[in-house]
Structure formats: C-alpha cells, structure tokens
C-alpha cells in the first residue's frame, strides 16, 4: 500500500495499448494499418509455428474437379496476462 495504489500500470517502452489498435478484417487492411509491422511479425510467427508442428503438407492440385479448402487470416489483439 503506497502511492501506486489505484494507479494505472506502467506501460513498457515500445508497447501498444490495446485500445489504440484497430483490428483489421483483411490482410489488405492490415497492410494499410500503422501497426502493419506488428501484424506482419505475428503472421510470420504463426506460419513458422504451423510449419514447425507439421500441421499440413502442400500437395499438387489434382486434375479432377475437387473442392479445395480455403483459408483466411483472422486478426485479434491479445493482452498479456
């Protein structure tokens, strides 16, 4: 119980407040964002993780008509505990 009681937590240098981030709906929107370097790093970290865990393997598209599974990026801001 000191002078810091009830005070807002200190913000680390180079950190971003969650309230200051606009969460993009698309990669195109993320690239236009001033937070693009952070989104890009997060995307690369996710790809690296997926690859290192052997989550998928690339295969050639068959000549026969098939239903190709698509994907998209979903952006979110996570607060550190």
pLDDT of residue 81: 60
pLDDT of residue 78: 83
Q: What is the 3-state secondary structure (H, E, C) of the chain?
A: CCCCCCCCCCCCCCCCCHHHCCCCCCHHHHHHCCCHHHHHHHHHHHHHHHHHCCCCCCCCCCCCCCCCCCCCCCCCCCCCC
pLDDT tens for residues 8-63?
A: 555 455 666 777 788 999 999 999 999 999 999 999 999 999 999 998 888 888 99
pLDDT of residue 14: 60
Greater model confidence, 81 or 2? 81
């Amino acid at each position: 119980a000191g002078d810091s009681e009830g005070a807002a937590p200190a913000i680390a240098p180079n950190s971003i407040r969650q309230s200051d981030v606009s969460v993009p709906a698309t990669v195109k929107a993320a690239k236009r964002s001033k937070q693009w370097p952070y989104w890009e790093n997060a995307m690369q970290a996710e790809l690296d993780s997926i690859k290192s865990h052997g989550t998928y393997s690339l295969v050639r598209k068959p000549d026969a008509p098939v239903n190709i599974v698509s994907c998209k990026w979903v952006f979110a801001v996570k607060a550190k505990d």
